[in-house]
Amino acid sequence: MREEDLVDIKFRLYDGSDIGPFRYSATSTVDMLKQRIVSDWPKGKTIVPKAVNEVKLISSGKILENDKTVGQCKVPFGEVAGGIIIMHVVVQPSLAKTKT
């Protein structure tokens, strides 16, 4: 894999703290990023995603779809100094209550 095919992504949480940065290949999917966020969620937060479908990623003002790749989400003119892309993480806990 070539170095330019790798993307550094940092995930900005609701309280301004970050997870990452992590390095992903341009072919990684948004769904893979969300799985990483759920598994690496910092301890002690008041809001905690329990499942991948509770996590929304926002980059450049757009909600990213699970089947999109990192390469498709990269905004060419929005490159950050140092090459780290910051994606905002929104947690929407599912409101469906489990029936007993």
Q: Say which residue the tokens 């995930």 belong to.
A: 11
Q: What is the pTM of this model?
A: 0.82
Domains by residue range for the chain, with CATH: 6-91 (3.10.20.90)
Residues 32-91 pLDDT 10s = 999 999 999 999 999 999 999 999 999 988 999 999 999 888 765 555 556 788 999 999
- What b/e string do you get for 11-48 counting C-beta neighbours within 10 Å, with b at 16 or more? bebeeeeebbbbebebebbbbbbbebbbeebeeeeeee
- pLDDT, one tens digit per residue, over 4-36 is 678 899 999 999 999 999 999 989 999 999 999
